[in-house]
């Protein structure tokens, strides 16, 4: 069985700022990378070789939990941002 390699990107990593900028550009977020609502905001969860995973427990646009997978700049596969 093949397992996906997960990693945690540190704030000093070269992809850190660009992945948050990419998150802000998702139509759900309207240019806001945090989307603070009732004390909740976007949280970076992890990365794989192909994508970055973020979650929000109470998004202001939907008032429900949301999850987004963003394609990494080094990805060999093209991912589409998804919401739950």
pLDDT per residue as tens digits for the range 44-65: 999 998 899 999 999 999 999 9
Q: Model pTM greater than 0.75?
A: yes
Residue 41 · residue 54 · CB < 8 Å? no
pLDDT reported for residue 79: 47
pLDDT reported for residue 75: 53
pLDDT reported for residue 5: 87
Which residues does the chain have with pLDDT short of 50?
1, 79
Q: Total domain count for the chain?
A: 1
Q: Which structural domain range is residue 32 located in?
A: 1-84
Give the contacts of 65 (CB within 8 A, at least 6 positions apart). 55, 56, 57, 58, 59, 84
């Amino acid at each position: 069985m093949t397992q996906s390699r997960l990693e945690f990107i540190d704030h000093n990593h070269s992809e850190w700022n660009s992945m948050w900028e990419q998150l802000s550009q998702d139509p759900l977020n309207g240019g806001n990378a945090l989307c603070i609502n009732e004390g909740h905001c976007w949280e970076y969860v992890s990365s794989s070789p192909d994508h970055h995973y973020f979650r929000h427990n109470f998004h202001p646009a939907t008032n429900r939990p949301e999850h987004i997978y963003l394609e990494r700049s080094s990805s060999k596969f093209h991912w589409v941002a998804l919401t739950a």
